[in-house]
Structures are given as structure tokens and as C-alpha cells.
Amino acid sequence: MRLVLAILAEQLGEWRHGYDLMKATGLLSGTLYPLLMRMTDNGLVEAEWREPAQQGRPPRHVYRLTAAGFALAIELTRESAPLSGKEMLA
Amino acid sequence: MTIFLARLLMTLASTCMGDDRRDWSLAMQAEYEVAAADGQALSFASGCLVAAWRELLASPQGRFTLTNYVAALGIMLPMAALQIGCAVFGLPYLYPGEHGLPGAMLVGGSHEALLRSIYLGAVPTLALIQLITGIGHVRLAWLLVERDWPGAIRWALWTLAGATALVIFMSVLFLDAQQALLQAAIVGLEVAAIAIGITRHAEIAAVRNPTG
């Protein structure tokens, strides 16, 4: 979760697609989506539907941090020294 | 082939996701198109299936759905197969003497010589009741997966009535009804389990929609 928070906090206010987040975090869809669902349920991330850039494609979900999510991201960044891979997924 | 398999996995993932995560299911479907264009269709789809399974196990609704599938596929369909097989093929191991349903009727006893013709005449009727009970189980499994509770309880009671009728007829004919009694007991437990399932489903629905 920390990794997703950190990536989303990098470009605060910008909406990111799920597949972009996968590439940015290096997480697989089986890990990323449950995290995003949980974070959205807890009010850390907000999700929205966007019309596709290419015609004929379905609308896509985009995500960004909420104020609470950003606050948590800052708090975790302050708390943590460089994190190990395992900690980042915790 | 890879795309076909990936699409199959995505469909399975959508099916597993449940109604309360429909939005997420659609979101993953939309991202799948992008992943497929990027040559990552199969790994993305596999991940989505894992995500769907995680969700299924994480939510009470998902666990309840999973329990329904396990009960339908693990208990009711095997029971139905056993009962239908017994009625159609006279599976030997269900009845004494290992000669199927007719064998149960011809187990040695003083009454056998007197009632032999009645026994043989009763075989089709008893086999039919057994067959109907088995078919009832198949329908019951389907209704359980569909979460059609009024239908499930109705069919469960019909199935129980069939199983009970089988026990009564076999007992009246002085037949060994142990296995039929065991089947009726299992159907009785299924009726109880469905009644508990209805209550549990109502509780989960109340938590999801507190305003009713």
C-alpha cells in the first residue's frame, strides 16, 4: 500500500489509470486491484470513470489520492527510512 | 489462443467479482484492453482472476456465494448423481447384497417368498421416486447457486418428501431402508442448511443496505 500511496503522491491531483499504476509500481494486477479497492473503501483513493482517448474503447477508471490519502502518504514518508520491498507492500 | 485464454480468465474474474464490485470488474475489463494492446493480456487477466478470488474470500457476500457453490457442487450434485445412478443403474453398493435396488427387495427373509411378486412390482415405483429425488437435488443445486431462496426451500421440501416416501414404502414392504433413511437424513440436513442460508443471506443484505 505504501508503494501505491507513494506513486500517487508523486503527482498529486493527477488522475492515473490502473495499468499505468501497475507499470509505475511494478505490482501485478492481482495485487494492485485489491489494494486500490481497499484504499478506495477506506477513503484514501478516489476513483472516477473517464471517457477513453481512443474511440471504440470502453470508459476507463482513473485514480488519485484523497486529502486523507495524501496525509497518510506524507506521514508514512516521514516515518520511514528507505523501505525494503516487503515493507513497501505491507 | 493466448487471447482466448485471457478473455476466458477475464470473464471468470467478472463472474467471481460479485454485484457490489461490479464497477471494479468493469474497470479491470477496460484496463485489460490496454494490457492486451501492450502484449500483457494473459498476465493481466490472471492477476484479475486472483484479485477477484481475493475479493470473493474477503467479503461476507463473497464467502456466502462461495459456500453456496461448494454446497451445490460438493454435496448436492454428488448426491443427485448417486440417487439418479441408483435409480437408473441400480448401483449395487447402496443396497444390501450388492445387487442394487432390486437386490434390497430380495434379501432373504420369511416374507420374501410371499411378497416376491409385490416386491418386483414395486421396483419401478421405488426407482421412480428415487429418480425424482435425484432430479430434485439437481434443481435444488441450481436454485442454490442462483440464490432463489423461495424456490430452493420449495424444492428442498419436495425432495425431502420424496426421500421420506421412499423410506416409508420400503419399510412397509419390510425392506432394508437403511440407505434410504440415510439419504432422507441428508436431505433433512440440507433443508435445515438452506433455512440457515436464507437467514444468513438476509443478514448480509441488511448490512449492505441498512436503510432496507
Closest CA to A19 of B133, B124, B126, B45: B45
Contacts of B50 in chain A (CB under 8 A): 28-30
Q: Check residue B108 and give its pLDDT.
A: 64
Q: For the whole model, what pTM was predicted?
A: 0.61
Contacts of B58 in chain A (CB under 8 A): 34
C-alpha Rg value of chain A to the nearest Å: 13
Pairs of residues, one from chain A and one from chain B, whose beta carbons lie less than 8 Å apart: 68
Lowest average pLDDT, out of A40-44, A78-82, B65-69, B186-190, goes to A78-82
Q: What are phi and psi of B51, to 5 degrees?
A: -60, -45
Q: Check residue B42 and give its pLDDT.
A: 92
Lowest average pLDDT, out of A45-49, A54-58, A69-73, goes to A54-58
Cβ-based neighbours of B123, under 8 Å, separated by 6 or more: B101, B102, B105
Query: B33 and A28: CB-CB below 8 Å?
Result: no
Summarize the confidence of residues A17-29 as an average pLDDT: 90
Position A40 pLDDT exceeds 90: yes
Contacts of B44 in chain A (CB under 8 A): 19, 22, 29
B17 Cβ under 8 Å from any chain A Cβ: no
- The amino acid that residue B92 corresponds to is P
Query: B33 and A37: CB-CB below 8 Å?
Result: no
B37 Cβ under 8 Å from any chain A Cβ: no
The parts of chain B modelled with pLDDT lower than 50 are 212
Residue of B nearest to A33 (CA): B51
Q: Check residue B212 and give its pLDDT.
A: 43
Look up the ipTM and state it.
0.80
CB contact at 8 A, B209 and B20: no
Is A78 in a helix, a strand, or coil?
A: helix
What Cα–Cα distance (Å) separates residue B28 from each residue in A17, B15, B17, B24, B37?
10, 12, 11, 6, 14
Pick from B34, B49, B54: CB nearest A34: B54
B145 Cβ under 8 Å from any chain A Cβ: no
Contacts of B48 in chain A (CB under 8 A): 29-30, 33
Contacts of A37 in chain B (CB under 8 A): 21, 24, 55
Q: Check residue A82 and give its pLDDT.
A: 57
CB contact at 8 A, B133 and B160: no
For the beta sheet containing A16-17, the strands, ordered from the edge strand earlier in sequence to the opposite edge, are A16-17, A60-65, A45-50
DSSP for B74-122, written as a single string: IIIHHHHHHHHHHHHH--GGGSGGGSHHHHHHTSS-HHHHHHHHHHHHH
Q: Check residue B77 and give its pLDDT.
A: 92
